[in-house]
Structure 1
Amino acid sequence: MFVVDRPKVLELFIYTRDKCEVGDEYKKILYFFPNEKSLDDKLNSIGLSEAIATFTNSFNSPCTSIRTKNTKRLFKSLTP
Structure 2
Amino acid sequence: MAATKDVRITVMLKDGVLDPQGEAVRHALGAMGFDGVEGVRQGKVIELRVAEDTSEAAVRDMCERLLANTVIESYRIEM
**Fold shared, TM-score > 0.5 on shorter chain:** no
TM normalised by structure 2 equals 0.32
Return the index of the structure with the highest Cα Rg. Answer: 2
TM normalised by structure 1 equals 0.31
Query: In proportion to residue count, which structure has more strand?
Result: 2
